[in-house]
Chains A and B, each alone.
Chain A
Amino acid sequence: MYKIIEKRALAPQIFLMDIEAPRVAKSAKPGQFVIIKMDEKGERIPLTISDYDIKRGTVTIVVQTIGCSTKEMENYEVGDSFLDFVGPLGQASELMSESIEELKNKKIIFIAGGLGTAPVYPQVKWLNEQGVKADVIIGAKAEEYVIMEEEMKSVAGNVYPCTDDGSYGYKGLVTNKLKDLVQNEGKKYDLVIAIGPMIMMKFVCKLTEELGITTIVSMNPIMVDGTGMCGACRLTVDGETKFACVDGPEFDGHKVNFEEAMRRQTMYKTQEVPKNEGIKPGCGLGGTK
Chain B
Amino acid sequence: MSKMNRVKIAEQEPKIRATNFEEVCLGYTEDEAVEEAARCLNCKNPKCVTKCPVAIDIPGFIQHVKNREFEEAVKVIAKYSALPAVCGRVCPQETQCESKCILGIKGEAVAIGKLERFVGDYSRVHNVDISQTKSKNGKKVAVIGSGPAGLTCAGDLAKDGYDVTIFEALHEAGGVLVYGIPEFRLPKGTVVKHEVENVIKLGVKIETNVIVGRTVTINQLMEEEDFVAVFIGSGAGLPMFMGIPGENLNGVFSANEYLTRNNLMKAYKEGYRTPIRTGSKVAVVGGGNVAMDAVRTAVRLGAEGHIVYRRSESELPARAEEVHHAKEEGVIMDLLVNPIEILGDDAGNVIGMNCIKMELGEPDASGRRRPIAIKGSEFVIDVDTVIMSLGTSPNPLIASTTEGLEINKWKCIVAEDETGLTSKKNVYAGGDAVSGAATVILAMEAGKKAAKAINEMLAN
> Do the two chains bind?
yes
Residues on A lying within 8 angstroms of B by beta carbon are: 23-24, 27, 37, 41-44, 68-69, 83-89, 224-225, 227-232, 234-236, 241, 246, 260, 263-264, 266-268, 271-272, 281-289
Contact partner of B257 (CB less than 8 A), chosen from A68, A86, A231, is A231
Output the least CB separation between A10 and chain B (Å). 25
Scan residues 239-294 of chain B and give those whose CB is less than 8 A from a CB of chain A: 239, 241, 243, 247-248, 250-251, 253-254, 256-257, 260-261, 265-279
A282 engages B273 (CB within 8 Å): yes
B209 engages A84 (CB within 8 Å): yes
B270 engages A27 (CB within 8 Å): no
Residue of A nearest to B256 (CB): A230
B215 engages A87 (CB within 8 Å): yes
Q: Which residues of A contact B312 (CB under 8 A)?
A: none
* A contact patch SS: loop
A24 engages B215 (CB within 8 Å): yes
Q: Is B238 an interface residue (CB 8 A)?
A: yes
Q: Which residues of B contact A87 (CB under 8 A)?
A: 211, 214-215
Q: Which residues of A contact B170 (CB under 8 A)?
A: 225, 227
B273 engages A227 (CB within 8 Å): no
Seed contacts A41-B273, A231-B254; 13 additional CB < 8 Å A-B pairs: A23-B210, A42-B273, A86-B209, A89-B214, A228-B237, A229-B237, A231-B241, A235-B248, A241-B248, A267-B251, A267-B277, A287-B277, A288-B277
Interface residues on B, range: 35 or more
Residue of B nearest to A230 (CB): B257
**Assembled-state Cα–Cα distance A85/B274 (Å):** 16
**Assembled-state Cα–Cα distance A283/B273 (Å):** 6
Q: Which residues of A contact B250 (CB under 8 A)?
A: 263-264, 266-267
A289 engages B301 (CB within 8 Å): yes
**Assembled-state Cα–Cα distance A289/B254 (Å):** 20
A271 engages B275 (CB within 8 Å): yes
Q: Which residues of B contact A43 (CB under 8 A)?
A: 265, 272-275
Residue of A nearest to B257 (CB): A230
**Assembled-state Cα–Cα distance A272/B274 (Å):** 10
Scan residues 211-240 of chain B and give those whose CB is less than 8 A from a CB of chain A: 211, 214-216, 237-239
B257 engages A44 (CB within 8 Å): no
**Assembled-state Cα–Cα distance A267/B243 (Å):** 21
A-B contacts, CB under 8 A, total: 142
Q: Which residues of B contact A69 (CB under 8 A)?
A: 273
B273 engages A85 (CB within 8 Å): no
Contact partner of A229 (CB less than 8 A), chosen from B267, B275, B278, B395, is B395
Interface CB pairs A-B, < 8 A, 12: A23-B215, A37-B171, A43-B274, A86-B209, A87-B211, A227-B395, A232-B254, A236-B248, A246-B395, A267-B251, A288-B278, A289-B302
**Assembled-state Cα–Cα distance A83/B273 (Å):** 15
A84 engages B208 (CB within 8 Å): yes
Q: Which residues of B contact A44 (CB under 8 A)?
A: 171, 265, 274
Residue of A nearest to B236 (CB): A229
**Assembled-state Cα–Cα distance A268/B271 (Å):** 17
**Assembled-state Cα–Cα distance A68/B239 (Å):** 29
Residues on B lying within 8 angstroms of A by beta carbon are: 169-171, 208-211, 214-216, 237-239, 241, 243, 247-248, 250-251, 253-254, 256-257, 260-261, 265-279, 301-302, 347-348, 392, 395, 397
**Assembled-state Cα–Cα distance A232/B265 (Å):** 14
Among A41, A42, A84, A89, residue most surrounded by chain B Cβ atoms (within 10 Å): A41
B268 engages A231 (CB within 8 Å): no
**Assembled-state Cα–Cα distance A227/B239 (Å):** 12
Q: Which residues of A contact B266 (CB under 8 A)?
A: 41
Output the least CB separation between B303 and chain A (Å). 9
**Assembled-state Cα–Cα distance A24/B211 (Å):** 10
B171 engages A86 (CB within 8 Å): yes
A229 engages B261 (CB within 8 Å): no
Residue of A nearest to B265 (CB): A43
**Assembled-state Cα–Cα distance A177/B425 (Å):** 56
B277 engages A88 (CB within 8 Å): no
Output the least CB separation between B414 and chain A (Å). 21
A284 engages B274 (CB within 8 Å): yes
Output the least CB separation between B263 and chain A (Å). 12
Q: Which residues of B contact A272 (CB under 8 A)?
A: 275
Known: A88-B215, A268-B275. A230 touches B254 (CB 8 A): yes
B169 engages A84 (CB within 8 Å): no
Output the least CB separation between B423 and chain A (Å). 23
Q: Which residues of B contact A268 (CB under 8 A)?
A: 275, 277
Q: Which residues of B contact A260 (CB under 8 A)?
A: 248, 348
Residue of B nearest to A282 (CB): B271
Q: Which residues of A contact B256 (CB under 8 A)?
A: 229-231
Q: Which residues of A contact B169 (CB under 8 A)?
A: 86, 225, 227
Q: Which residues of A contact B215 (CB under 8 A)?
A: 23-24, 27, 86-88
Q: Which residues of B contact A287 (CB under 8 A)?
A: 267-268, 276-278, 301-302
Q: Which residues of A contact B260 (CB under 8 A)?
A: 224-225, 229-230
Output the least CB separation between A86 and chain B (Å). 4
Known: A224-B257, A289-B302. A27 touches B216 (CB 8 A): yes
Among A86, A235, A264, residue most surrounded by chain B Cβ atoms (within 10 Å): A86
Residue of A nearest to B344 (CB): A263
Among B214, B276, B347, residue most surrounded by chain A Cβ atoms (within 10 Å): B214
A286 engages B248 (CB within 8 Å): no
Q: Which residues of A contact B347 (CB under 8 A)?
A: 263
Contact partner of B239 (CB less than 8 A), chosen from A89, A229, A282, A289, is A229
Contact partner of B211 (CB less than 8 A), chosen from A37, A89, A286, is A89
Q: Which residues of A contact B257 (CB under 8 A)?
A: 224, 230-232
**Assembled-state Cα–Cα distance A228/B257 (Å):** 10
Known: A228-B395, A241-B241, A289-B302. A27 touches B171 (CB 8 A): no
B254 engages A286 (CB within 8 Å): no
Output the least CB separation between B250 and chain A (Å). 5
Output the least CB separation between A40 and chain B (Å). 9
Output the least CB separation between B415 and chain A (Å). 21
